[in-house]
Structure formats: C-alpha cells, structure tokens
Amino acid sequence: MCPDDMKLDTDWKNCISNNDPEEKVKEKKTCDSNGFEYDPASDSCIDVDECGVNENICGEHGQCVNLNGSFECQCSDGYILYESNMCQDINECESEQNVCDVNSYCVNLEGSFECRCSNGYILESNVCQDINECEDEFICNHGSICVNFEGSYRCDCSSGYELDENRYCQDIDECLQFDSCNNVNSHCINNPGSYFCECNAGYWNNSGFCDDFDECSDRNGDCSQICINLEGSYRCDCLSGYHTDSVNSNECVDIDECAKGYHTCDQNCVNSLGSYSCSCDWGFEMSHEDPFKCYSLCDRMNCVYECINGTCICPRGYVLSNDNVSCVPKKNNGCSMEGLVDQTHRYFCSEMESSPGFYPVGTICQSLCTPHNYTSVRKMKKECQFDGQWGLSNQTCAKMECPPLLDNFGNVILEPPNCESKPQALQSVCRVSCLPGYKLMGSHIIRCRKDLRWHYPGDKPSCIRSDKQLIKETVSNATIQPDIQCPQDIIEFLHDGRNSAYVEIPRPATNVNWENNVVAEPPIAKSLKLELPPGTHYIRFVAQLQGQREANCNLSINIIDRTPPKVYDCPESFEVKYNPRELKKVFWEEPNFSDNVRIAHMITNKLSGELFQYGRHTIIYEAGDDHGNKIRCMFHFNVIRRKRRKKLKRKKGRRE
C-alpha cells in the first residue's frame, strides 16, 4: 500500500509521486503511476488489473481486489495480511480472550480454530460434560474399585486388598495375622478381599459361637450301643461284656467269656449276650453269696451212710428211711456169700445164714487157705459190715510157685516162654532146648519143687557150640525184660490261700527191686511224696537191669489253681469339672491286687494322669494269675465343662 499522494511503481514495489498521468503520457508516452499502463490505442494510461496478471498475488489464503491504479489483498477469515501481501493464519488460541469454554482447550487450525474437550470430558449439547469412566466395569484391575471425579477417575484398592510394589491391588491374607479368629474351636479361611472364621470339625456355629456338636444326639452317633460325646468329637463304646468290632468300630460284638476263659465259674460257664452265667453239675448247687461257686448238695444232706450227687445212698441190704438221710434194713439184709468165694481161701463163719446166701451184720468168718497150691502166710478174719460188705483184708494165702527162671544157662530156649518172665506153679516143668548151632548138655527139663525152688535131674543144662561156622551171635530171648507200670495221672486242686499242694504218688508196679533197680526223674519223686506248685509236672520211673535192659513209665501230676486274685482299694466313680478350652490330666488312686500264687499280669484301658476330654469315661483294671483266674476293678468318671462364651470377632480388610 502506498500513501495517498503516492502510487505503486511498475516494479510493484516502490511508491512514486502520484502526479497527473495524463501529463506524463504526453511527455513520455508512459504512465507514471504504477497500476496504469499506456494504451496506444487510446493514447492514454489505463488501469492495470493486477489480479488478472498474477492470480497468486495474494497467496493461498488471500483474495485479490483490483482497484483503479492499484489492488488490494483481502485475507480469508482467520488470516491476517502481512507486509508481503501474504495472508498468514491467525492463532486465535493465543488470544487474551477465553475463546473456549471451561473443561475444553483451544486447538489452532489453518484459518480457524476449534475447542476440544479436555481428557475426561465429552461434548454433549456443545458443552463438555464429565465422562464417568467408572461405568466401564473393567476399567480397574481385580481387587480395586473405581472412583469418578471431574475430568478423571482413580482406582482404589477394595476392602481387604492392598497395593503391592507394582501398584497392583493384592489380597490381604488376614489369616496370617495373629488372632484373626479368637476361638480355639475355629479356624480362619481367607477369601479374596475378606476372610471368615469356620468352626472346626465337631463344632457348629451357634449365633457366632463355636459350640461342641453333640454327635450322640443324632441317631446315637451311629453307635450300636454307647455313644460318648467328646469335645469336638465322639467315640463309640460298648457295654460290659462286649468289645468293639475289628472291622466296624461303631459295632459291638459279644465277648464269649466262656470260650476265652474270662469267667470265674467254679464248674460250668454259659455264655449270653453281653454277659455269662455259671451253672453247677448235677448234685451241686450255686452259692447264694457267690454266683460263681458251686457247693455239693451233700454238704447239707447229713447222710448217715454216704451221699452221691446230692442223694443219700445206703449200703447193700439197706434202704433210705422216710427222712431220706438215714438207712433202715431191708428184708434179707446182710453180707452175701459171694464175697467169701475165691480160689485161694475157705471160710468158716460164726453165724448161720440169716437168709439164703446172706450172713447177718457182725458175722465173723475165719479164712483157711485152699489146699495144694496155696499156703497160709497169716490167719485173717472177715466181718460182715454195716454197709453189707465184708471187711477188706490183705491176701492171707500165698500161692505156692517158683520165681521166674533168671539163671543164665547160655543160649538156651525155655518152653513155655513165660518160664523166664513169670512165676510158675508148684510142679510146673520148663523144657530146655538150644539155639541153632548149639548142642544141649545136661538136663533137658527143670521142675518146680515143694521147696519152691527149681530143680533139674543131672547136670545143669547148658548149650555149647556144635559148628562155629553155623553159629551167629544173637540176642537171647531167654533173659528177663524189666517191666514197670505207673499209676493213673493225678489231679489235685489248691486249697484256698495255698500256693502248693501235697501229693502222695502210689508206688508203680514193677518186676524189679524197687530200692535198687528203679530210678525216678526227678530223683525226689522216688520218695513218692511231693509238695508241688500249680501246673503240670511230669514224673518218669525207670526199671533197670544189667546189660542195659530197662523199661520206663510216665506219670503227670496236674496241680490246678482255681482261686482268683483279690482286689483292694478299687476307686469309686467320680466327677471332674473343666473350664472352657481347658484340657488337663485326671488322676486317681490305682487299685491293688494280690494272689495266692502270683499276679501274672495286670492290664488297664487308661492310666492315671492321662489327658481326658469331656464325656463319660470307663476305667477297667484287670489282674490275672498264670492259670486263667481273673478279677476286675471297674469305675467311671464324668468330665463336665463350665460353659463360658466369647463372641467371635470378624475382621475386615484394609484399604490402601
């Protein structure tokens, strides 16, 4: 632009004086003023249309407006003209005026500007409104909560979470904190963002208190007999006489005390469910004071003669009277002649027969030996006894016989064979022969004479070898073989309070000299009188002769102890009280046991000084001796708690 008195020169850059162009033309045929040009046709200066000459004279954002002798650039909205006739963008954002509303910011554009909403805002009805980012449920990580505010939001850790070093919300494990659950009967369970206290097994939540659950109140705890509730648990127990089944601990099985020997019956044991009873043999009755002992009915019968199995009996020739204890004679009573008849004796009696075949009581008969084969040792009398039997007597007549042939004739054979093993009757003859390869020398017979000695006519018989090659060394059967027979086995019972029994052994029968040729094992048994403790003892008697010939027999003596042990100071049942949460030891005075022999074992199901929970407890002590005799001490005690409740406290998580 040039001042009013100036105009733009033709170089379009310089301003020159604005004199009358016509004057200029006349002189030079040129136009002085820029913006004009000489028109020869009109011989005048005409306006130059600069806008047509240079379309970009005003630049991209300017519009050329031709003027007489000049032109001007008009800028588009948002632009301003600078000296170079160029339109430059106006930065409206640098204006001192608030071109944009609150919660927005200005963005300059070419030739214009725009207002954009700030972060956290959105344009609604030409107004920037706050965006509620919290409506996006996934905008915050797990364990945190969204908090919206003007133009933004933040994620806070939820209750029960805390920020870790990576700025993530991590769950707080409240169960690691001391005393999260303040009840001994509960335990802590952590959850994401929280925790809770759960009652231990055997307890239930009773309005915030963990109370013991009484399993026995529900179908008796499935126990077949006794259910014992314990603090936090329970157990099944069995009634006396039962034991817990080995497969199912809830079931009880009857104890067969009779088969296992757990009874104390004197005679017979009868098993029953949960118990047993005792019975007595025929002729015995149960004691009224002791249901385990049997007493013979004969103890109170007062029988005049004899009692067998609780019934009075009378001797032959007598019958029971009306009182069933005394005997009265029956018709033809007395002693039978049959008791006098044998092959060794003859009798002469002082009385006549009272009836055919019977002698009256008191008859005395004198014995004489039967002639020929017997000889009198001493005279003996038999008297008819009250029981209808003849009085017993030892043998009074000795049989006339020679002893067994024990002489060593050497390689001889005696016939009959018992000549060398048994005594032979008077006038008996034993014949002598020799083994093969031997020849008989001397008498071939040996005879038993009246002097009861063996005699042989001529020389003493003997056998000599006839041919050495035919003779074999053999063991002769002509030697005596020792023999010994023991009495029957002996059974004795210990008397009450005794620890040993006195036993007399009947002397064994033998064909050798008792004093010199019989030994006993153990040697003390040779005395036949022993003091023995309970148990089975074995005795061996051996009959020995020269040449290592011997025989033996065995005898057992069984000493039976039927006396059970005794118990002293068996405790009475009692009661123990605990405070809540308390578990302590229970003590009692233990019983004492004694036995006439010795206590072999003592067992108990619980010991004094053990820890016991709530409930009823049965204590059993059992002592036994070596012979199966047992006794029990059994008592009970109840453990009761004093209830004292404390409210469970529930802790919440923290917020970071």
Least confident of 2-16, 452-466, 514-528: 2-16
Top mean pLDDT of 97-101, 267-271, 315-319, 448-452 is at 267-271
pLDDT at 554 over 90: yes
The proportion of the chain whose per-residue pLDDT surpasses 90, expressed as a percent, equals: 11
Other C-beta atoms closer than 10 Å to the C-beta of 323 total 9
Alpha carbons within 13 angstroms on the beta-carbon side of residue 13 total 1
pLDDT digits (tens, 9 = 90+) for 263-288: 888 889 999 888 888 999 888 888 88
Encoded tokens for 327: 């005997």
Task: Match domain 6-92 to its CATH number in 1.10.10.10, 2.10.25.10, 3.30.360.10, 3.90.1150.10.
Answer: 2.10.25.10
Residue 57 to residue 61: CA distance in whole angstroms: 11
Q: Which pLDDT band holds residue 299 (cuts at 50, 70, 90)?
A: confident
pLDDT tens per residue across span 191-224: 888 888 899 988 888 887 888 888 888 888 899 8
Return the residue matching tokens 């002590």: 621
CB–CB of 519/510 below 8 Å?
Answer: no
User: If one looks up domain 335-399 in CATH, what number appears?
Assistant: 2.10.70
Q: Which tops the pLDDT comparison, 83 or 195?
A: 195
Report strand pairing: 284-286 vs 294-296.
antiparallel
Q: What pLDDT does 270 receive?
A: 92
* pLDDT at residue 539 tops 90: yes
Cβ neighbors of 476 (< 8 A, separation 6 or more) are 411, 412, 435
CATH superfamily of 413-465: Complement Module, domain 1 (2.10.70.10)
338 band by pLDDT with thresholds 50, 70 and 90: low
Pick 291 or 548 by higher pLDDT: 291
Does the pLDDT value for residue 561 go beyond 60?
Answer: yes
CB atoms within 10 A of CB 416: 13
Note the pLDDT of residue 653.
42
Structure confidence at residue 356 (pLDDT): 60
Cα angle: 569, vertex 571, 576; to 5 degrees: 155
- More reliable by pLDDT, 313 or 567: 567
- Please check the confidence at residue 56 and state whether its pLDDT lies above 50: yes
Share of the chain above pLDDT 70, in %: 82
354 pLDDT more than 70: no
CATH of 565-656, one of 1.10.3470, 2.60.40, 2.30.38, 3.10.620: 2.60.40
Contact 509, 485 (CB under 8 A): yes
Structure confidence at residue 548 as a pLDDT band (50, 70, 90): low
Higher pLDDT, 436 or 489: 489
User: Average model confidence (pLDDT) for the chain?
Assistant: 80
The answer, yes or no, to whether residue 379 has pLDDT greater than 70, is no
- Which CATH architecture group holds 133-171? Ribbon (2.10)
Note the pLDDT tens digit of each residue in 471-492: 343 343 335 788 899 998 998 9
Top-tier CATH class for 93-130: mainly beta
> Is the pLDDT assigned to residue 36 strictly greater than 70?
yes
Quick one: three-class SS letters along 524-549?
A: HHHHCEEEECCEEEEEEEEEEECCCE
Mean pLDDT of 327-341: 66
- Residue 565 has a pLDDT of 92
CATH 2.70.70 holds for 484-560: no
Any residues with CB less than 8 A from the CB of 341 and at least 6 apart, and which? none
Distance CA 454, CA 446 (A): 6
pLDDT class of 19 with cuts at 50, 70, 90: low
339 vs 93, which has greater pLDDT?
93
Contact by Cβ (8 Å): 651, 175: no
